Amino acid sequence: MKGRIVPAVAEKVKEMSAGICEEAESRKNMLPKSQADIMVLLPTYFIAMEGDQLVGTCGLKIWSIGQGEIISLLTWEGFRGRGYATGLIEATIKKGRKLGLREFFVLAVSPDFFRRFGFASVDYRVFPVKLWSDCAHCKRNAAGPGDKECKKTMLHLSLR
Ligand SMILES: CC(C)(COP(=O)(O)OP(=O)(O)OC[C@H]1O[C@@H](n2cnc3c(N)ncnc32)[C@H](O)[C@@H]1OP(=O)(O)O)[C@@H](O)C(=O)NCCC(=O)NCCS
């Protein structure tokens, strides 16, 4: 990796939101995040920087005691295959562990990428709150996983 993984800061939020929303709109593979969405969770977000250029994002949403969801994992096109997403995931899980989280989950369009870190597929119905609150906002599929339009796989990592 030529660049670095650093905690996200407020001055980058506009650009983070624009990158995530552009990917969400064009590929329908992740949820869009407004600047307000990101600001609320800013202490959990990491960004990848190559020089002065923002090239990646990843956040962590805590749903219940000890359990967090990996969100907004994105490496900007043109900067992929350089280890940024790996660095972002590692930093996010390390931070989650420091916060006391022992379980992580992700609703992923790229399940094989997450398997590299020990995540394993799990029945999506294990996390009903996520489905009810987030899937309703998905452009591809308001019904959530299980609907034939949904391209995502639920994965889980336990670090107990
Ligand atoms: C998936 C994504 C985050 C990977 O980012 P990246 O910065 O290119 O990932 P890395 O460079 O850290 O890749 C590390 C390794 O994972 C592999 N990998 C990358 N994307 C993969 C995928 N979709 N499935 C399986 N393996 C993948 C790479 O080939 C690389 O392997 P290597 O170490 O053997 O060379 C990026 O392609 C992306 O932003 N995609 C669009 C948004 C998206 O799908 N986000 C994830 C939501 S679930």
SS3 state at 75: strand
Pocket lining for ligand 1, CB < 6 angstroms: 23, 29-30, 73-75, 80-86, 108-110, 112-113, 116
| Rounded CA separation 134/54 (Å) | 26
Q: 49 forms bridges with which residues in the sheet? A: 4, 54
| Rounded CA separation 37/13 (Å) | 10
**pLDDT for residue 78:** 96
CA of 113 to the centre of ligand 1 (A): 6
Question: Which parts of the chain have pLDDT scores under 70?
Answer: 141-146
**pLDDT for residue 130:** 82
**pLDDT for residue 143:** 61
Judge: domain 4-158, CATH 2.40.50.140: no
Query: Which residue stretches of 4-104 are H helix?
Result: 13-27, 35-40, 84-98
Pocket test for ligand 1, best of 110, 112, 114, 119 (most atoms within 8 A of CB): 110
CA of 79 to the centre of ligand 1 (A): 10
Are 14 and 30 contacting, i.e. CB atoms less than 8 angstroms apart? no
**pLDDT for residue 144:** 63
Q: How distant, in Å, are the alpha carbons of 34, 39, 43, 147 from that of 97?
A: 26, 21, 14, 33
- 38-52, pLDDT tens digit by residue? 999 999 999 999 999
Pocket test for ligand 1, best of 26, 70, 75 (most atoms within 8 A of CB): 75
**pLDDT for residue 142:** 63
CA of 94 to the centre of ligand 1 (A): 19
Q: How distant, in Å, are the alpha carbons of 3, 11, 47, 93 from that of 39?
A: 23, 10, 13, 20
- Joined tokens for residue 140: 């591809």
CA of 110 to the centre of ligand 1 (A): 8
Are 39 and 13 contacting, i.e. CB atoms less than 8 angstroms apart? yes
CA of 120 to the centre of ligand 1 (A): 16
The whole-angstrom distance between residue 43's C-alpha and the CA centroid of its chain comes to 14
Are 15 and 47 contacting, i.e. CB atoms less than 8 angstroms apart? no
Nearest CA, atom 43, ligand 1: 74
